[in-house]
Amino acid sequence: MQFEQSNLFKAVQMQGIFSDSKHFADAIPKVSWEQACAQYEREMPEDLAAFVAQHFEFAPQPELAALNATSVKDYISQLWSRLERAPQAGNASSLLDLPASYTVPGGRFNEIYYWDSYFTALGLLDAGRTEQVSNMLDNFVSLIARIGHVPNGNRSYYTSRSQPPVTALMVSLLWQTHHRDQAWLQKVTEALQAEHAFWMAGSDKLNDELSESRRVVRMPCGGVMNRFWDDSAQPRPESYKEDIEAAALLEREHRAAFYRNIRAACESGWDFSSRWLDDPAQLCSINTVQRIPVDLNALLHQLEWQLSECYAALGQAQQSTHFLQLAQQRKRLIQAYLWDKEQGWFMDYHTALQTRTQVMSLAAVVPMFLGLASQLQAEAMMLRLEQDFLKAGGLVTTLTETDQQWDSPNGWAPLQWFAVKGLLNYGNQKLATSVARRWLAMLERDFEQHGCLLEKYNVVAPGVRAGGGEYLVQQGFGWTNGVTSRFYQLLES
């Protein structure tokens, strides 16, 4: 039974028993969801909160307990063990089993998140926790084998979508120490190929009559690029009430598209941003599936390149050449459709309008991070970064100020890392150092006041709590810890 379709689940969510819809989506039934739902249908209790307390419990959040940390470095060091979760089997909740221990972001996010894991892994490696990074990759391999992709997170309600594909980046983190192990190499190669097949599913069906299918889109030149998608067009269980209420503002025939676009934006990891909105002031104008995102296609280039490397290491030259050619073709498409010479910036592409969007975002630094920009392009982007994106606390997410959390004035750790590493790739150590120093100075001042690290920050006005989004800013926080740790390492080296 899908618990999110039950009358009990819908009643609890719509009555707002919990301020955060995700709380009940993650509830652990004391016996089973089936029994709780059957009991609810028999009793139709008036006191729904008491009924929930009788039949459900909730996972602990050890990372939220106070630490005796005297510095940001000390806090990060102490928190890693609190963010670690043991593998579970037979859990009756929405949590999917994993074969190895894993690290969660923290707060409301009490499960793995796909793209978060790469940035978290940077800090784990800095802390000497290489085995935990290996465990995280093993969990990805297991999920791909069972589901066909790494879901947004290891929850049953996340399986219809993924997130920016970073398994190849995880492989690259362990490559030097593991690639001579043929069993490991075979295992990760099979997983990467399966993930590639997931993102490219439907590409064989594209023709003159059908130009898009699931996550693939045929471009005007005939080449194939990718977009974010979700196979479901229903309200998200983890934001059920919010989605129902937002969709009520639309005509009935537009609600399914709204749900799919909301879910596709969640697959992007940028939930939500003016990148996906036709009207930056209106979430209901979300139109994610008509964007060709620069970050997604750059990461898929990395996936194809890593597959070429893996097959070369396995001695399979034909397969290695095949994926290298795919990577080279994708690079040409990124250059043709996503580089805006006038702006000096990589931009998303709007498929319906057949033009680049006008939203300038830090997604553009992912080609620099992965070495896909030319030196001239990188120099133009460095000028933009310093003049327009660099703020008191680091780099702002977009140049568009909205109520969405992935817009100005907020800054996010993963984007700081993509940018700093990208700048270093193209020889601009001065600007890279400036970004890292501003980020660390802001975190240290905030830590003195609050004693924790957060998932996002207001980089325009450090000290003002970051806002936007569907929930309160969360503390912990996996990817902030990882990137901050890496910045300390860079500045001290």
Active site residues: 271, 455
Determine how β-strand 224-226 pairs with β-strand 345-346: unpaired
Residue owning tokens 């997410």: 397
Residue owning tokens 């993963």: 414
| CB contact at 8 A, 234 and 259 | yes
What tokens appear for 60 in the block? 């602990």
Closest Cα to residue 345, out of 359, 328, 332? Answer: 359
What tokens appear for 291 in the block? 């964007």
Helices 167-178 and 182-200 pack at an angle, to 10 degrees, of 170
Residue owning tokens 């460095």: 382
What tokens appear for 35 in the block? 């029994």
Q: CA–CA separation, 414 vs 299, rounded Å?
A: 14
What tokens appear for 132 in the block? 């935990």
Cis amide leading into 272 (omega within 30): yes
Residues 6+ apart with CB under 8 A from 406: 270, 271, 272, 273, 275, 397, 398, 412, 468
φ, ψ at 314 (rounded to 5°): -85, -5
Amino acid (1-letter code) at residue 120:
T
Q: CA–CA separation, 344 vs 385, rounded Å?
A: 10
Determine how β-strand 390-391 pairs with β-strand 345-346: unpaired
